[in-house]
Amino acid sequence: MSFDEANQENLSQMLNELADHLNVANRGLFDAEDYDLNKYNDLKLLHQVIMNKEKLSALETQAFVDELATIRKK
């Protein structure tokens, strides 16, 4: 799937893929409604980095979750 276009559907798909790949139990952080399309490129970059890693350590997972929190709407 191409994530070139910043739209709500792509945002939602990226967040679902991130939640699956990070194996996060609390998916509340991955609700597309909580993200602003103005920060789409930030999320897209984070998505690319995470999806290119086969396995993440617990520390890496926490760092990416913390970074997601900074991208969310305040």
Give the start-to-end residue ranges of the domains of the chain. 8-71
Tokens of 44: 């897209």
Residue 16 has pLDDT above 80, yes or no: yes
Tell me, what's the pLDDT at 74?
Answer: 67
C-alpha triplet 60, 56, 16: angle, nearest 5°: 95
Q: Please check whether residue 65 is in contact with residue 54, taking contact to mean a CB–CB distance below 8 angstroms.
A: no
> pLDDT tens, 25-59?
888 889 999 999 999 999 999 999 999 998 899 99
Tell me, what's the pLDDT at 26?
Answer: 82
How does the average pLDDT of the chain come out, rounded? 91
Chain centroid, CA 14 distance in Å: 6
**How many Cβ atoms are within 10 Å of 18's Cβ, its own excluded?**
20
